[in-house]
Amino acid sequence: MKTYSIVLLLCLLTPYLGNAQENFIFKKAYDLKVLGRVSEDTSHFQRIDSADLQNLPPAVQRYAKFSAGMNVVFKTDSKSIKIHWKLKKMNTLWNMPSVAVNGIDLYGWNGQEWQYISSGRPNSEDNQMIMVENLDGKMRNYRIFLPIYAEVKDLEIGVLEKTTLSPPDTALVPSSKIAIYGSSITQGIAASRPGMAYPSILSRRLDFDFINLGFSGSGKMELPIADLLAKIPAQLYILDCVPNTLPEQVKDRAYPLITRLRMLKPEIPIIMVESVKREISNWNSAMYTRVNGQNDEYRKTFDKLVAEGYQNIYYISTSELMGDDHEATVDGTHLTDLGFMRISKTIERYIKDSIAPLQ
């Protein structure tokens, strides 16, 4: 009876003992393929290189170091994948889960599209987690989306010994970029996890490397932004930068920003996106005046550009962004996953319409 009990116990523990004995070999993520940066020369896990930040406002400089929209693509035949990521600091937002602020998402290519697998739970500045196990051992491509609102110091991908970890299939690496400049909404607040920011959703749907230049509370149309955007060899620029600017700022800044960008990039299409409708503006008359004033001034800028003969400029109104059921935000302003799915579908349609004439 005693022998039988020991054998039974060993049988029950075998799967767990096997997992505990797995040895992972780690490789730096930047030795694979990192997407979502202004240039390949950008410091490893920040969207904009430090040298390009000097002429930008202090708040933009700070948020540019957050890894929103950045993602790492690779392939492996390992049956388990483990991720080790280090943060400069664990950040907290009242309207956003920690996994979106500080965590990571893993997606896999299923042969037709990028499919969600799992999320990495952040517990501290230094995190390790087995993201998936019991895979079939076939060579497959994977994609990791980095934190929306935190600065990543290091990222390593671990695979089992005697398996392969290498850059992805070239067919899954976009050859062209799209740059999106905007506010916290562009950055991805308040998505449930990193892969659900709308630029990240679009990056999985379309064959482009999307550069997320959303800066929380700081997308205010400063003129040096035009020079930054022009440094990106993009096929399209999306300007979703109305929410952080007062109506008089939109009036004063939108036209100089866009005309300078057009001067620097005369042939590249531009999509102008109005501010989302803040739910409180349906009840608060002062907020109603502000939001409508912002969008009215932006529309006037678009009409002026068209009247002056500027071409390849497209415009998306707020009525096309969030639906009409008033259920697309977490706090009346920042979008839930539902809101991000809706806005991404609209912008996707405009992307296809704006780029098609050039192809």
Could you tell me the end-to-end alpha-carbon distance of the chain, in angstroms, rounded to an integer? 76
**Residues 303-332, mean pLDDT to the nearest whole number:** 98
Residues 97-123, buried b or exposed e (16+ Cβ, 10 A)?
ebbbbbbbbbbbbeeeebeebbbbebe
Contacts of 8 by beta carbon, 8 Å cutoff, 6+ apart? none
Check whether 17 has a pLDDT greater than 70: no
Q: Give the Cβ contact number of residue 6 at 10 Å.
A: 10
Query: What's the confidence (pLDDT) of residue 359?
Result: 56
- E strands of the chain, at which residues? 24-28, 33-35, 71-76, 81-87, 104-109, 114-120, 126-132, 140-145, 152-160, 165-166, 177-182, 209-214, 234-240, 270-273, 313-316
Query: What's the confidence (pLDDT) of residue 76?
Result: 99
User: What is d(CA 189, CA 86) in angstroms, rounded to the nearest whole number?
Assistant: 21
Residues 255-276, buried b or exposed e (16+ Cβ, 10 A)?
bebbbbbbeebeebbbbbbbbb
Per-residue tokens: 155: 């990222």
For residue 310, with 0-12 CB atoms within 10 Å meaning exposed, 13-18 middle and 19 or more buried, which class applies? middle
Fold of 22-171: Jelly Rolls (2.60.120)
Q: pLDDT by residue (tens digit) across 23-77?
A: 999 999 999 999 999 988 766 789 998 888 888 999 999 999 999 999 999 999 9
Query: What's the confidence (pLDDT) of residue 44?
Result: 74
User: What is d(CA 77, CA 138) in angstroms, rounded to the nearest whole number?
Assistant: 5
- Provide the mean pLDDT of the chain: 94
Query: What's the confidence (pLDDT) of residue 14?
Result: 44
Q: Read out DSSP for 77-100?
A: --S-EEEEEEES----BTTB-HHH
Please, which pLDDT band fits residue 7 given cuts at 50, 70 and 90? very low
Query: What's the confidence (pLDDT) of residue 15?
Result: 43
Check whether 356 has a pLDDT greater than 90: no
Q: pLDDT by residue (tens digit) across 238-258?
A: 999 999 999 999 999 999 999
Please, which pLDDT band fits residue 358 given cuts at 50, 70 and 90? low
Superfamily of domain 175-358: SGNH hydrolase (3.40.50.1110)
Per-residue tokens: 215: 């800066």
Residue 210 DSSP class: E
Query: What's the confidence (pLDDT) of residue 43?
Result: 64
Q: Tell me the residue type at 351.
A: I
The two beta strands, 177-182 and 209-214, are parallel
Please, which pLDDT band fits residue 357 given cuts at 50, 70 and 90? low
Check whether 5 has a pLDDT greater than 60: no
Q: Tell me the residue type at 39.
A: S
Please, which pLDDT band fits residue 233 given cuts at 50, 70 and 90? very high
Instruction: Return the percentage of the chain with pLDDT > 70, whole number.
Output: 92
Give the start-to-end residue ranges of the domains of the chain. Answer: 22-171, 175-358
**Residues 14-26, mean pLDDT to the nearest whole number:** 66
Altogether, the residues listed in the chain come to a count of 359
Asked if 149 and 193 touch (Cβ cutoff 8 Å), the reply is no
Let me know if the fold of 22-171 is the same as that of 175-358. Answer: no
Query: What's the confidence (pLDDT) of residue 39?
Result: 84
Q: Read out DSSP for 123-184?
A: -SSEEEEEEE-S-----EEEEEEPPSSS-EEEEEEEEETT--EEPPPGGGS-SSEEEEEESH
Q: pLDDT by residue (tens digit) across 261-305?
A: 999 999 999 999 999 999 999 999 999 999 999 999 999 999 999
